[in-house]
Homo-oligomer: A and B are copies of this chain.
Amino acid sequence: MKTDPELRYKTLISKLQQRGSRLTSHRIALARLISVSEGHPNASQLFKKLRIQFPSVSLATIYKTLALLKAEGEVLEIDLHGDSRYDGANPFPHPHLICECCGMILDGDEIKSIGELNNEIESKYGFQITRPQQIFYGLCKDCRASIDKKG
């Protein structure tokens, strides 16, 4: 459920403007990078890509800008034990399926029972969910297939 990169970019920029943040060249470039990103890059990967175009950019700026966009709810942080990944292409909370074999991170979009789960939690515990983080570790289709082949 990846939204249109151009729309994403415009949203990110306008969110920064709305909150009164300044549009520096590095922020604009990061917003663009996040909008077109397909995977789930970490701060270091975004830094390396951005540095090609802006050799003077620093990792600290990446973290600071990501924190800004995270606070605006425009970037999701996937918390992987000391290697946070950022999902800025799809701003809607969704499960992430992480293959323990190949490391791939798959977006679990269009899972119907998520809504039901949320309802059940909210009604059963009176808990108001603001930010779900659902990570499913396991084996992806391809890795299962290659394991089956071997044994």
- Residues of A at the B interface (CB closer than 8 Å) are 79-82, 84, 95, 97, 99-100, 106, 108, 110-114, 116-117, 120-121, 124-141, 144
B106 touches A125 (CB 8 A): yes
CA distance A129 to B135 in the complex (A): 10
Nearest Cβ distance between residue A68 and chain B, in whole angstroms?
17
Nearest Cβ distance between residue A128 and chain B, in whole angstroms?
4
Known pairs A113-B120, A125-B141, A131-B137 / 6 extra A-B pairs, C-beta < 8 Å = A97-B129, A108-B125, A113-B116, A128-B138, A132-B134, A134-B134
- CB contacts (< 8 Å) of A140 on chain B: these are 125-127
**CB within 8 Å for A113 and B111 given contacts A127-B139, A132-B135:** no
